[in-house]
Amino acid sequence: MTLHEFQQACDALRADAPARIAAALSLEAWHDVRSAMVGRKSGRLTELMALLPQLDREERRDAGAAINTLKLALEAALEARKAELEASAAPALQRDLTMPARALWRGAVHPVSLVIDEICDIFRELGFTVALGPEAESPWYNFTALNFPDDHPAMDMHDTLYLQDGGVLRTHTSPVQVRTLQSYAPPVRILAPGNVYRRDFFDATHAPAFAQLEGLAIDEGITFADLKATLAHFARAFYGERTPTRLVPSYFPFTEPSGQMEVFFDVGDGRGARWIEIMGCGLVHPAVLEAAGLDSEKYSGWAFGMGPARIAMSRFGLTDIRLLYDSDVRFLEQFA
């Protein structure tokens, strides 16, 4: 081997070093590159050094100097790359101890869910369990079985969201009454919370999707007195023992007689205490019991339906329902 050939080999190693070093994307890869280039046992630099004895004595001195320079250059480049890799792998704490800590994110239960949970707790003590039904419902369960006449305005396309397969997005949780009575023999006492859908625009008091909570009690010999006592008990447990309650007449196709329960309550909107409607209710219409396959001579019962979002508004002093359905965490995290 000549000195010229030796120097060419050194130049070749120097020339492809930057690319190989840069290609080490992890500290592990860096160690591999390092031992392939300058490793004592099998590195290319070591291989070159082993060739030195083949040169003339005169040439050996120049060759030795050249390989030393090369060695220093390679080692400097390797160390620089190692520092880069370590910096990007280091946790933030090691980089800047003065950086402020990131605030821990605490999730909060949604105010509508808080209200649903509280209502379920009150009724659970009275022996009610939770039943659920589908949000994509058939018009039969949503309307027909609930004694809606065929031309009832609620079935209009302007009010109800119809699905392409002829189904509907349920407009209320009342269809769960029928589904439950088809599956379980009385006595039945259930609550059915869930989302319902109406063809409405968002404004301060309307949402196109919102929560409802249905209640149903069916057995032999249930009367309007049971309804009134149970719902008054609920209203006082929820709004306070001294809260006045009253039932006023109303109309729903699936109950007869129908009423709405009102509580005398200050919702905190600055207008003072007044009668607030909290639910619709009534004795389940015999036609609904029959549609579910029950003997309406033998069984009777009552039902109610309420809007947990409205109730959350009265509980938390809100005047715009959109706060509850906008999913703005700055609002929602206050309930943590």
- Indicate whether 303 belongs to the interface with ligand DAH (CB under 6 A): yes
Q: Which of 109, 84, 94, 324 is nearest to 204 (CA)?
A: 324
Part of the chain binding ligand DAH (CB under 6 A), chosen from 52-60, 107-115, 201-209, 278-286: 278-286
- Indicate whether 45 belongs to the interface with ligand DAH (CB under 6 A): no
Total binding residues toward ligand DAH, as defined by CB under 6 A: 11
DSSP 161-216: -B-TTS-EE-SSSTHHHHHHHHHSPSSEEEEEEEEEE-S----SS--SEEEEEEEE
One-letter amino acid at 121 equals D
What is the nearest approach in angstroms of ligand DAH to the Cβ of residue 280? 3
- Indicate whether 305 belongs to the interface with ligand DAH (CB under 6 A): yes
Strand-pairing partners, residue 162, are 168
Part of the chain binding ligand DAH (CB under 6 A), chosen from 11-19, 111-119, 234-242, 280-288: 280-288
Of the pair 13, 324, the CB lying nearest ligand DAH is at 324
The CA distance from 106 to 114, in Å, is 16
Both tokens of 31, joined, read: 């160690």
Give Cα separations from 207 to 213, 254, 326, 328 (angstroms). Answer: 16, 24, 10, 16
Q: Choose, by CB under 6 A, the member of 193, 282, 301, 308 that binds ligand DAH.
A: 282
- Indicate whether 280 belongs to the interface with ligand DAH (CB under 6 A): yes
Part of the chain binding ligand DAH (CB under 6 A), chosen from 97-105, 121-129, 185-193, 275-283: 275-283
The CA distance from 73 to 239, in Å, is 80
Residue whose CB is nearest to ligand DAH in the complex, by number: 305
Q: Choose, by CB under 6 A, the member of 37, 281, 292, 311 that binds ligand DAH.
A: 281
Q: Which of residues 129-188 bind ligand DAH (CB under 6 A)?
A: 172, 174
- Indicate whether 193 belongs to the interface with ligand DAH (CB under 6 A): no
The CA distance from 74 to 21, in Å, is 9
Of the pair 188, 303, the CB lying nearest ligand DAH is at 303
Part of the chain binding ligand DAH (CB under 6 A), chosen from 49-57, 59-67, 299-307, 323-331: 299-307
Q: Enumerate residues 6+ apart whose C-beta is below 8 A from 222.
A: 300, 301, 302
Q: Choose, by CB under 6 A, the member of 252, 263, 278, 294 that binds ligand DAH.
A: 252
Of the pair 34, 172, the CB lying nearest ligand DAH is at 172
Of the pair 13, 178, the CB lying nearest ligand DAH is at 178
The CA distance from 31 to 79, in Å, is 11
Both tokens of 102, joined, read: 């990131």
- Indicate whether 261 belongs to the interface with ligand DAH (CB under 6 A): no
Residue 276 parent element (H or E):
strand 274-284
The CA distance from 98 to 37, in Å, is 39
User: Under the rule (CB under 6 A), what is the footprint of ligand DAH?
Assistant: 172, 174, 214, 252, 255, 280-282, 303-305
